[in-house]
Amino acid sequence: MIFEQLIIHNFGIYKGRHIIDLNSKSERKPIILFGGLNGGGKTTFLDALQLTLYGKFARCSNRGNLSYHDYLGQTINRHISPEEGAALELKFSTYIDGELNTFQVKRYWRSTGKAIKEDMEVTHNQVVDPVMTEQWYEYVNEFLPLSISGLFFFDGEKIEALADPEGSAALIRTGITSLLGLDIVDKLGTDLSALLRAGLKKEKARPNNDDAAAVTEQENKLAELKIRNEGLLQDISSTSSQIDSLNACIKGVRSSYRQAGGDLYDQREVLENNLASIQSDLEQKESSLRKRAEEIAPLGLVRDLLQQTYQQAMAEEEGFETKLLLDKLQQRDTELITYMQQSGTAKQTLDLLKAKLAADIEQRQAKIPDSFYLNIPVSAFDGLTGSAFDEVDSATTKLCNETSELKEKLLNAERQIASIPEGATLQSYQQQIAEYEELLLQEKAKHSIFTDQINKLTNQIDTAEIRLANIKLNSNSNIFEAELQERIGNNIGSVQNILARFHRAMVEKHIKHLESLILESFISLLRKGDLIKKITIDLETFKLTLLDSEMNVIPPSRLSAGERQILAISILWGLAKASGRPLPSIIDTPLGRLDSRHRQQLVNNYFPNASHQLILLSTDQEIDQAYHDDLKEYIGKEYHIQYNESQQTSIITEGYF
């Protein structure tokens, strides 16, 4: 697992949005180093990581006894409006079934005036996963269980207490039970004890002597209900037969009624209305034809003569216009020739001009008709062209066809009406149908009543059977319950014994390995290599015992403050190794109160090997220039945290100093 990026927005001392890249991109440089003064925001950085992952279960600093939402309200930066709220985003990657998966957890909260509203979103491989979002507290325990998070996220100044017998025992107990999954075994044992106590509180029941009489009485009631049920079933069967018979009679009479023309009689009003509608439509069509006859339609009989007359009128009109034009042209020609002669134009030219003008006059005279007998203007023929007659013919033909169709429909409608029988002929059939339908209605009402009664009776029978079964069960339930509780008690005792032996066997199997890991870590970090020769852990109390080279017990009080802190770190490191989980580690105030020699041991032996990703939150008094030079080859990224008064926020910049 690798933390790749943390985004802090209006959280604690951090105002605005701050993006921190945590991926060193090099396996040989696992350390991400943060430097800054006390109060600058290093612990807030650690709180942000834990809060993003664990939410209401996060072990954040300065929370105390505050409720979760009260704590969230206090984390909103004091220089911004609470309604604007704060947000945290953590991006990390891990391998699942050999494939690299990326996750991004987003938490954001704000004040609504009355309360704090929190939301979160989980993205898996760049796709929002609603199931993982809803069940994040279950998923996060698969990546980095909360129960062992203290092995990887801790404050160097506060771990010295873990070196005391009680503190180390509690840590080792928690660590080893979580790592081996024994916390589930312990929870099962607790649940079994609670189950046993609940069983002991139940009194042994005694058989009731009145149960036999109650069974007999209930059986008699049930038998009576079933007899009534049989009678109702017979009544329903009888009415069903009557209904079928009446339906058959109605069907037969209706068949005879149809054969006698009953359908036509029933439809007489519709047929009469249809006849009236056809007559009305026919009158409209004939009226339209008469109107057509009053217009230009009759002239269609002499279309050719009209066309000839129209052409003669056009010829006369054009001839008259030509005559008027010729008089003007002849006068113009005479004046033109006279002018040409006076101008001394050559005779040959004058002859050609005269011939040309004479030919033009002759051509125009040829267009004048021989006779003028109509004396009618061409405009008199407007609306009497061939296209007008085509439209009239088309519309008239359509009207004639529609009129013929309506006449055919009228004839058929008159025939249908003529075939309608008299009402007296059908009266007997109608009376029979009405009588049968009245009887059918009565039988259906009976059938409905019987059905309702049998439904109610069926419910009563079901209730009576359940009551009888309960009475019979109750007569044996007390004895059965007592026997069951006895068997449960015996089995719980056996299971608890098995769980206790399993718990001890698992601890014995792994405790020696843990002892060697803690001793190995302690020796590599302690400057006194011959101080401790052996470390043992009690199987029952999980207390840690230190032994010197002569196997004498070394009380923790004999260790210096720095040595106790080294021991606490060794316990954490040993448990982390035992977990076998490739998880990042974060240490706030990593060198704490250690002297220079112990600090050098951590710098040389612990920090480069603690994890594949180690985030150190240090002051400049802890990891100074000398220690920084020693760690330089292992540092993948380094940042400096400093509060900016003008911007009212801590700012994270690259570079340690």
Q: According to the model, what pLDDT value does residue 205 have? A: 44
Instruction: Enter the tokens of residue 323.
Output: 């005559």
* Predicted local confidence at residue 20, as pLDDT: 96
Residue 353 located in a structural domain: yes
Instruction: Tell me if 56 is assigned to some domain.
Output: yes
The answer to whether residues 33 and 23 touch, using CB atoms and an 8 Å cutoff, is no
Q: Tell me what pLDDT residue 476 has.
A: 62
488 in a structural domain? no
* Among 354, 380, 406, residue at a domain's last position: 380
Cα–Cα distances in angstroms (integers) from residue 363 to residues 231, 239, 322, 439, in the given order? 122, 111, 11, 106
**Residue 419 falls inside a structural domain:** no
Q: Please identify, among 363, 380, 397, the residue that sits at the C-terminal boundary of a domain.
A: 380
The sign one gets for the Cα dihedral 69, 70, 74, 80 is positive
Residue with tokens 């004479």: 358
Instruction: Identify whether 363 is part of a domain.
Output: yes
CATH of the domain at 24: 3.40.50.300
* 3-class DSSP assignment, residue 370: coil
Q: What DSSP line would sit under 92-105, residue for residue?
A: EEEEETTEEEEEEE
Mean pLDDT, 10 residues at a time, the chain of 657 residues: 95 96 88 92 94 93 89 94 95 92 96 93 95 92 83 77 71 74 67 66 50 78 86 87 88 81 73 84 84 71 71 76 79 84 83 84 77 72 67 81 87 76 73 86 89 89 86 66 69 77 80 88 77 86 86 83 82 83 87 80 89 91 90 94 94 91
Which pLDDT score, from 0 to 100, does residue 329 have?
A: 82
User: What local confidence, expressed as pLDDT, does residue 425 receive?
Assistant: 64
Q: Which pLDDT score is estimated for 481?
A: 64
Domain membership flag for residue 480:
no
Which pLDDT value is given to residue 225? 86
The pLDDT value recorded for residue 103 is 96
Q: Give Cβ neighbours of residue 241 (< 8 Å, ≥ 6 apart).
A: none
Structural domain that includes position 339: 303-380
Return the axis-axis angle of helices 182-201 and 423-525, rounded to nearest 10°.
120
592, part of any domain = yes
Distance CA(234)–CA(240), nearest Å, equals 10
Q: How far apart are CA 74 and CA 71, in angstroms?
A: 5
| The pLDDT value given to residue 189 | 64
Instruction: Give the per-residue pLDDT at 483.
Output: 66
Of the residues 353, 380, 407, the one at which a domain ends: 380
Please report the pLDDT score of residue 90 as a whole number: 97
Where helices occur in 260-302 by DSSP H, the ranges are: 262-266, 268-294
Q: Enumerate residues 6+ apart whose C-beta is below 8 A from 28.
A: 633, 634
Residue 389 parent element (H or E): helix 386-418
When divided into structural domains, the chain yields a total of 2
Tell whether 422 is covered by a domain. Answer: no
